Structure 1
Amino acid sequence: MRRNTCVIAGGGPAGAMLALLMARAGVEVTLLEKHRDFLRDFRGDTIHPSTLQILDELGLAEEFHRLPHRKTHRMEIHTDDTTVPVADLRRLRSKYRYIAFVPQWEFLDLLTTAAGRYPNFRLLMEAEVLGVIREGDVVRGVRYRDPSGEHELRAALTVAADGRHSDVRRAAGLVPVEHSAPMDVVWFRLPREPADPGETFLRISNGHMMVAINRESYWQLAYLIPKGGFETLRARGIEALREPVAGLLPFLGERAGLLRDFEEVSVLSVALNRLRRWHRPGLLVIGDAAHAMSPVFGVGINLAVQDAVAAANLLAGPLAAGAEIPESLLARVQRRRVPPTAVTQFAQRVVQSRLIRPALSERARPVRLPRDISRLPLIGFLARRFVGLGILPEHVSSPVKSHQV
């Protein structure tokens, strides 16, 4: 049985960022990731200015920008008749005025490689959490399984950052409050050619919605379908997916034929939920494990990273000093992060009910939007601020005590 000051379950954006910040502060930290690597396609990978600023504060901005990435300065909606600018980040008051599209595995490799430069960091891959270790009412670590067998890892603080289907959250008896979502998302890719449009955009037509993300050499496409509608779509055959691609994006008409079958797509069952309580004695829950976000606005990664920074700002110093972490301090993390999470989810629910649900309805009517949302007084400012920086952007204030190797 091994002891650590902090054990983090889940090597996603929240877990990897928190592990880096804890290692940097001199905390003995172990990060558990149940997969063999981070290489999983069609994961969220929109890095917004708020996260770019955090990377800058950590001295990782230059290293990040050496990764293969695509910058997007504007968010647009394309209807049957026009193009509607929604948020122009070039007018944002920030050092970084764009969204960077980077494969999530590249982002996670960046964070874990940076954490690995500290001798007090340990990354365990193929380590699946089986449950938590308890001393009375206090969580004191986790039980996990890796290729060599089952193990126990004790810790002063356990952090659940293992996603929307969190094993640690379930073991601790924490159940999120669910909010309905009207859609699921079918993800797939098609080749991109030089003459194609340059920007990433949302395409809306009666009964159909599709997000087109420019990946330089290919398009990453997200076709929105009514909630629970994938089996119906599959039963109609692959032509039922090719047809809306060609109809919504005529420049991809011929390339839609490259979709051979549904084995080439990935389905995201959209969830929107939030825990009432993010903590137990000895345990903190952050990121998607605490609040599953809708893909609306593409802010999921950035909310998770903000959670990690807030947690490190409050907890890294006391943990590095060997202090016992009272549950009241864990509650402060929740109080800090609930307002931006709740406001963001409320905005997502409004978009889902006012725009997405009607657009996907069988009786969908033509969508009516202002000509340029990005330039409307106050609304344009709020749109770029909300998308770019969020409601309560965090800044790194956790201590630096450990030396890199």
Structure 2
Amino acid sequence: MSDRTRSPVVIIGGGPAGMMAGLLFARAGVQTLVLEKHADFLRDFRGDTVHPSTLNLFDELGLLEALLAREHDKISAVGAVIGGREYRIADFSYLPGRAPFIAMMPQWHFLNFVADAARRFPSFTLRMEAEAVGLIEGTKRIEGVRLANGEALEARLVIAADGRSSRMRAAAALPLQDLGAPIDVLWFRVPKARTADNRTQGYINRGEMIVTIDRGDYFQCARVIEKGAADRVRAAGIERFRDDVAAPVPSLSANIGAIADWGDVKLLTVSLDRLLRWHRPGLLAIGDAAHAMSPVGGVGINLAIQDAVAAANILATELAAGGDPDPLLHRIRTRRMLAVRTIQAVQRAIHRNVIGSAMRNDKPRAPAVIQLLQAIPALQALPAWLLGLGIQREHVHSPDASRRA
């Protein structure tokens, strides 16, 4: 194959991890090609929660105001309605930075914004409808990717950011540890009237857990079910489904009939896993391809973006200088594993002690720790910090080639 130093970094997947990595590597002056298999980013039932950790990164890049000019709502506190009683769990107003809130932004708006920001750099290319189906194996390293249309693309480095069912991860035979997820999620929409405030909320009652994400004129809703129970739920009929959703969330009753049939309900099969090794020579996995997260807390896209920042911090200078990235690849996993392990441990505990308990009890009670947060409101800063900023959060240290020009 030709001289690798002239080949681009090829990123598989135009999700949050892939697009953020594309932006940062291009910003550093690295020739970067992002491949996205779809024609656009417009797909519903994807993570919309842009946390303070991510907002602070865009502030460091000088892009926060422009990002927040896109359609979004702000959530300054997170709570739940348990057994009919409302509890506040996390108050983001305690957090540092210029964005102490969660921005509820449809993911397609977020990804389009990142793509627009990346296109300012001449070293960035985004190809839509470009599906990677395999890797090009050299004698010592991965040397590129093969596309569904038959193209073979050389790469200095392949970054697999193609999600929890990563084809590139499987092709590279990276070892995967399945931590087990006892839940799946059924997604659907229920119309609503617009309100001045964002009314995203979680409800636990009558053996059900329902999350309602306020998107202005409709709620994007999630019904948590036991792993593998989707067929059983469908067999009970759509009317029973509507009744089971409206029972713990009476405010949905008036418009629940908008769920006309099972075509209006989508299944998310929840995974919780992580790679034991994130790399091979010539290839790096990040985001959901490296560690699939539960939807609990909406942290997935934010951890994926942190991975991208860490990868750029560690690799961009070497790549911009025409160097060999392979000796550095192991450092990304080393850097990110504390955060991944911590959040996954918290999610497993919530699966077991909160969601599991909710689904076993018709009249649930709030756990003692949630009752303590009500008694001492200042303690709500602790879950806000964990949820909003995370563990060992990243800051942008990768170079900006435009400042050297």
What TM-score do you get using the length of structure 2 for normalisation? 0.94
1:377 CA drift (Å): 7.8
Whether the 8 Å contact between 2:206 and 2:248 is mirrored in structure 1 is no
Aligned to 2:78: 75
Q: Tell me the CA shift for residue 216 of structure 1.
A: 1.5
Q: Give the structure 1 partner of residue 107 of structure 2.
A: 104
| Partner Cα separation in structure 1 for residue 306 and residue 358 of structure 2 | 32
- Cα distance in 1 between the residues matched to 2:120 and 2:386: 34
- In structure 2, the partner of 1:338 is 337
- CA 229–22 in structure 1, closer or farther in 2 if over 3 Å, else same: same
What residue identity is the alignment partner of 2:238?
A: I
> Quick check: 385-394 or 373-382, which moved more?
373-382
1:113 to partner: Cα distance = 1.2
Change in Cα spacing, 1:403 to 1:94, as seen in structure 2 (3 Å) is: closer
Q: Hey, what does 2:67 align to over in structure 1?
A: 64
Native 8 Å contact 2:206 2:247 kept in 1: no
Structure 2 alignment gaps of length 5 or more: none
Mapping for residues 81-96 of structure 1, pairs under 5 Å: 81-96=84-99
- Find the counterpart in structure 1 of residue 364 from structure 2: 366
**What residue identity is the alignment partner of 1:264?**
D
**Letter of the 2:13 counterpart:** G
Counterparts of 1:223 and 1:326 in 2: how far apart (Å)?
43
AA matched with 1:186: L
Determine the structure 1 residue equivalent to 2:306.
Answer: 306
Provide, for residues 318-365 of structure 1, a one-character-per-residue CA deviation record: whole Å limited to 9, x for no partner: 1010001133x111111000110110000000000111112123x555
Distance 2:218 2:122 in 1: 39
Provide the C-alpha distance between the structure 2 equivalents of 1:187 and 1:230, rounded to a whole number of angstroms: 11
Q: Matched residue of 1:190: which SS?
A: strand
Output the CA distance in 1 between the equivalents of 2:173 and 2:15: 22
Q: Is the 8 A contact 1:84 1:372 kept in 2?
A: no
CA deviations on 1:5-50 (whole Å, 9 max, x unpaired) are 3110010000000000000000011001111111100001100000
> In the aligned structure 1, how far is the partner of 2:400 from the partner of 2:194?
46
Residue type at the aligned position of 1:99: I
Whether the 8 Å CA contact 2:181–2:270 is kept in 1: the answer is yes
Distance 1:231 1:25, change over 3 A: same
**Could you tell me how far 1:56 is from its partner in structure 2?**
1.0
Q: What does 1:231-242 correspond to in 2, within 5 Å? A: 231-242=231-242
1:3-402 paired onto structure 2 within 5 Å: 4-145=7-148, 149-194=149-194, 198-327=198-327, 329-361=328-360, 366-369=364-367, 370-371=370-371, 373=373, 376=376, 379-402=379-402
- Equivalent-residue separation in structure 2 for 1:219 and 1:234 (angstroms): 21
How far apart are the structure 2 equivalents of 1:372 and 1:203? 19
Q: Supply the distance in 2 between the matched residues of 1:212 and 1:404 (Cα, whole angstroms).
A: 47
Aligned partner of residue 130 in structure 1, secondary structure: strand
Report if aligned partners of 1:49, 1:388 keep a CA contact under 8 Å in 2. Answer: yes
Q: CA deviation at 1:180?
A: 1.5
Tell me how far 1:367 sits from its aligned partner: 2.4
In the aligned structure 2, how far is the partner of 1:193 from the partner of 1:404? 50
SS of residue in 2 equivalent to 1:15: helix
Is the CA contact 2:20–2:114 (under 8 Å) kept in the aligned structure 1? yes
Could you tell me which amino acid in structure 1 is paired with residue 349 of structure 2?
Answer: V
Could you tell me how far apart the structure 2 residues matched to 1:379 and 1:155 are? 49
On the 8 A contact 1:205/1:367 being kept in 2, the answer is no
1:142-195 deviation per Cα after TM superposition (whole angstroms, max 9, x unaligned): 1112xxx31111111111000011111111011321111121111111111247
Q: What is the TM-score of this pair, normalised by structure 1?
A: 0.94
Residue 204 of structure 1: CA displacement?
A: 0.3
Return closer, same or farther for 1:195/1:63 CA change in 2, 3 Å cut-off. Answer: closer
Report the Cα offset of residue 140 of structure 1.
1.2
Aligned residue for 1:248, secondary structure, equals coil
CA distance in 1, matches of 2:285, 2:397: 20
Distance across 1 between alignment mates of 2:404 and 2:229: 50
Distance in 2 (CA, whole Å) between partners of 1:255 and 1:192 is 7
- Give the secondary-structure state (helix, strand or coil) at the position aligned to 2:103: strand
**Which runs of 5 or more structure 1 residues have no equivalent in the other structure?**
none
Q: Counterpart amino acid of 1:140? A: E
* SS of equivalent to 2:329: helix
Q: Which consecutive aligned stretches of 4+ in structure 1 deviate over 6 angstroms post-superposition? A: none
C-alpha separation between the residues in 1 aligned to 2:154 and 2:239? 53
Q: Letter of the aligned partner of 1:368 in structure 2?
A: A
Structure 1 residues 202 and 137: CA distance shift in structure 2, 3 A: same
CA contact (8 A) 1:86 1:372 kept: no
Specify the code of the residue in structure 1 equivalent to 2:329: L
**Shift, 1:402, TM fit:** 4.2
Identity of aligned residues (%): 46
Change (3 A) 1:321 1:183: same
| Alpha-carbon distance in structure 2 between the residues aligned to 1:97 and 1:167 | 36
CA distance in 1, matches of 2:403, 2:197: 47
Deviations 1:70-124 (A, max 9, x none): 1111111102241110001112223211100111111111111111111111111
Alpha-carbon shift at residue 125 of structure 1 (Å): 1.0
Shift of 1:403: 7.7
CA distance in 2, matches of 1:276, 1:371: 37
Count of residues paired in the alignment: 400
- Equivalent-residue separation in structure 2 for 1:97 and 1:215 (angstroms): 20
- CA offsets per residue over residues 223-250 of structure 1, 9 Å max, x none? 1111111111111111122102221221
When residues 366 and 374 of structure 1 are mapped into structure 2, their CA distance, relative to the original with a 3 A threshold, is: closer
- What is the rounded CA distance, in whole Å, between the counterparts of 1:106 and 1:377 in structure 2? 34
Please say if residues 374 and 383 of structure 1, whose CA atoms lie closer than 8 Å, have aligned partners that are also in contact. Answer: no
Residue identity in the other structure for 2:40 = D
